């Protein structure tokens, strides 16, 4: 499996690590990206099992547009690399650290935790992914 971090300087990594490299979208960022038709085809998605489990739970609970977005997200990640993980944010952090991948999330708490661990983090703002 390809690694996002290739022994480069911070700025150089920041420029290219979200281009053709591996990245994890957390559940909310993935649903937001689907609902807002964000093009994230440039990314090689890695999906921790915890995210799939959360999406399946949401699919059962939600209705309407939200449920449709979850179904589309589940369909999109069929093509992604699925990896074993722990539950919740800790599972996402564990996989990102292990594989050297970045995380896309709008969850401030998760962003702070990732940054403390030296994990690259991006977020979605005004329909664009920002680093």
Digit-coded pLDDT (tens) for 49-107 = 999 999 999 999 999 999 999 999 999 999 899 999 999 999 999 999 999 999 999 99
Cα separation, 116 vs 129, in Å, equals 20
Residue with tokens 């990206």: 33
Q: Selecting from 3.40.50.10470, 3.40.50.2300, 3.40.50.1010, 1.20.59.20, what CATH number does the domain 10-130 have? A: 3.40.50.1010
Burial environment of residue 97 by CB neighbours within 10 A (0 to 12, 13 to 18, 19 or more): middle
pTM for this entry: 0.82
Higher pLDDT, 34 or 9: 34
Confidence band (pLDDT; 50, 70, 90) for 114?
A: very high
Structure token pair of residue 13:
């990594």
Q: Which H/E stretch holds residue 99?
A: helix 88-99
pLDDT of residue 77: 93
Q: Any bridge partners for residue 48, and if so which?
A: 83
How many residues make up the chain in this entry?
A: 131
């Amino acid at each position: 499996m390809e690694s996002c971090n290739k022994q480069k300087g911070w700025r150089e990594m920041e420029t290219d690590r979200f281009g053709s490299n591996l990245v994890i979208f957390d559940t909310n960022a993935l649903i937001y990206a689907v609902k807002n038709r964000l093009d994230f085809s440039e990314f090689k998605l890695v999906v921790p099992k915890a995210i799939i489990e959360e999406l399946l739970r949401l699919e059962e609970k939600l209705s309407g547009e939200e449920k449709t977005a979850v179904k589309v997200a589940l369909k999109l990640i069929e093509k992604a690399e699925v990896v074993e993980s722990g539950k919740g944010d800790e599972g996402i952090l564990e996989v990102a650290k292990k594989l050297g991948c970045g995380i896309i999330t709008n969850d401030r708490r998760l962003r702070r935790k990732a940054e403390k661990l030296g994990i690259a983090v991006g977020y979605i703002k005004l329909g664009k992914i920002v680093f």
